[in-house]
Structure formats: C-alpha cells, structure tokens
Amino acid sequence: MRSAFFRALMVAAERDPRINLVVGDIGFGVVEPFAEKYPKRFLNVGVAEQNMTGISAGLAMSGKIVFTYSIANFPTLRCLEQIRNDVCYHHANVKIVAVGGGYAYGALGATHHATEDLAIMRALPAMTVVAPADPQEAEKATLAAAQYSGPCYLRIGRAGEPKVHQSDIHFEIGRAIQVRDGDDLTIMSTGGMLQTAVQAAENLATQGFKARVLSMHSLKPFDSQAVLSAARDTGAILTVEEHSMIGGLGSAVAEALADAGEAAVAFKRLGVPSEFAPLMGNQEYLKEKAGLSLSGVLQAATSLLATVKR
C-alpha cells in the first residue's frame, strides 16, 4: 500500500500544484521521487512530529494541500494536540498519512503498534478517517483525499499487501464497497483485513453458506446504510479489524445498529484486545494471537451462524 500511496500522490501533485509533502525523517526509498521532482513542495522536518503538524497546518492555511507522512502512531499520537487545535479546529487542508497500521511493525513492539488510531481520529471534530484495504483502494483513497476539502486521516499498510479487488472499483469516501454478495452473514472489514474476510467467505461457501463481504474503508463519514442493509438482508454481522475493539469498526457498526433500533441482528466483533501486545513477533503472529487469522475469523463466523440458526 505504501508504494500505491506514493504513486497516487505523484499523480495528484502533477495535477495540483498546491500539494505538498512533509515528512518526519522517514520514508527513504519511497519519498525521493517526490522530493526530486517537487523540491520546493517537499520538507523533511526531522523527528519532530509536533512541528511537522504545526508547519503543515500553517501551509494549509496559506492555501496549500499538505500530506504529512510517518510511521504508525507517530503522526497521530505524538502530535495529537496539534492535530486537534491546529488542523481540525481550523479545518485545515492537511492529510495525515500513517504507514503501518495495526501490527505492521510487529517486532518493534507496542511503541510502533497503531491499534488505537482509528478510534482517536474518529473522535476529532472535522476529521475524515479512511483505512484502505489493498493497493487499489490505497491509490483511489489518496486521490480522493487530495480532492477532499478539510482534515483527513489515511491509514495504510506497510508494504507487500496483496491486491484483493480483481477488477476496477468505484471508490467514494463514506461509501462501503461490496466485494461479495450473500444472505446468510455479512463480514465487514476495514484496512488490511479484507483479504482474510474474503478468504473466510470463500471457505464458508464450500460449507453451503453465502457470506456478504463489505470493505468498510471509511470510518468517518461512515456508511450506516450499508450496515443497516446488511442487518436486514443477512441477519448477522461479523466485523474484523486490526485495531482495538474499542472505537474502531466494530464500535461504528454497533453505534449504527443501536441508533437505528436494529437490536435483533446477530452481531460479533473481532479486533485487538484493549491492551499492549503481551508477546513479541511479526505481524502475522500477533494477528493470530489476537484471533485475526483466517482460522480465527472462520471460527467466529461459524459460531455466529450457529447462533442465527438456533
């Protein structure tokens, strides 16, 4: 997804001379093409994310469209006050890009795990929150963010994420993408968990179950209508996210169901426990321990289907 983001950023920058890139001394190997082609629109502020955000807000208030870029939680948690007061309060045209959502930097430990970011960004007034699922979504999300007026948070994977969509997609901020249709169960995922959701649906199909799969790439604005349609059409919803159980996709779905009075739908959330990772390991290992492997998703889906049947 990281390479897809930079490809799209180069396209957007060619179209719009207002686009700037500000980085926190990170991204070497991928930022050079932008820096070389647009040296007057590139700035490396060093390991100083609070300054990165404040400078970006100032540039945006001067008419620029600014993308900030850093690892995981550093462009969010380290400079949260600047995001809230400088960017959101002034509705500044700053796009905060976090590379390595979830456990992507697994072996580096909790300091590099971004497992609360979606919840925190969702809570900020004026902030738009997008977590694309694969390289194709990442490219389209970047272009959409560049055209979107106001603060935007873009959470992308680290590198090597597979292409999930096998054909062109219509990407719109605030609108879910249906990847598979079904009427027995709906599996909703955000970010890089889409491939696992699709694989789970394919496995369930061999057992005679038809699972709808939705890519919920936008957490804010949120496609509540897609949730309500899934609840009424399939009667069961499973959410899957590489993020804390608190405040992410599962919470957004629960809020949509509660607000609409859809209490009868069978509903289960899969996500990261609200704790610092107690183990060390790579991304796949930590996801497995959190129940986010294919077998974990299948087990949850099967249990939910059994509940609906009863």
Which pLDDT score, from 0 to 100, does residue 307 have?
A: 87
The pLDDT tens digits of the residues spanning 118-135 come to 999 999 999 999 999 999
**Rounded-to-integer distance, Cα 185 and Cα 36, Å:** 49
Say whether both 152 and 204 belong to one domain: no
Residue, of 309 and 54, whose pLDDT is higher: 54
DSSP 9-46: HHHHHHH-TTEEEEESS--TTTSHHHHHH-GGGEEE--
Which pLDDT score, from 0 to 100, does residue 309 have?
A: 66
Q: Domain range holding 265?
A: 177-309
Please indicate, yes or no, if residue 167 is contained in any of the structural domains: no
Say whether both 76 and 207 belong to one domain: no
Return mean pLDDT, the chain.
Answer: 95
Please indicate, yes or no, if residue 251 is contained in any of the structural domains: yes
Closest CA to 180 of 70, 301, 24, 32: 301
The pLDDT tens digits of the residues spanning 181-240 come to 999 999 999 999 999 999 999 999 999 999 999 999 999 999 999 999 999 999 999 999
Residue type, 129: V
Please indicate, yes or no, if residue 286 is contained in any of the structural domains: yes
Which pLDDT score, from 0 to 100, does residue 5 have?
A: 95
Where residue 27 falls among pLDDT bands split at 50, 70, 90? confident
Total tally of structural domains belonging to the chain: 2
Please indicate, yes or no, if residue 165 is contained in any of the structural domains: no
Say whether both 194 and 230 belong to one domain: yes
Which pLDDT score, from 0 to 100, does residue 310 have?
A: 52
Please indicate, yes or no, if residue 169 is contained in any of the structural domains: no
- Our measurement of the distance from residue 231's CA atom to the centroid of its chain's CA atoms, rounded to an integer in Å, reads 22
CATH code assigned at 108: 3.40.50.970
Closest CA to 128 of 146, 151, 158, 109: 151
CATH code assigned at 250: 3.40.50.920
Percent of the chain beyond pLDDT 70?
Answer: 99
**Rounded-to-integer distance, Cα 90 and Cα 129, Å:** 17
Say whether both 9 and 148 belong to one domain: yes
Say whether both 109 and 196 belong to one domain: no
Which pLDDT score, from 0 to 100, does residue 258 have?
A: 95
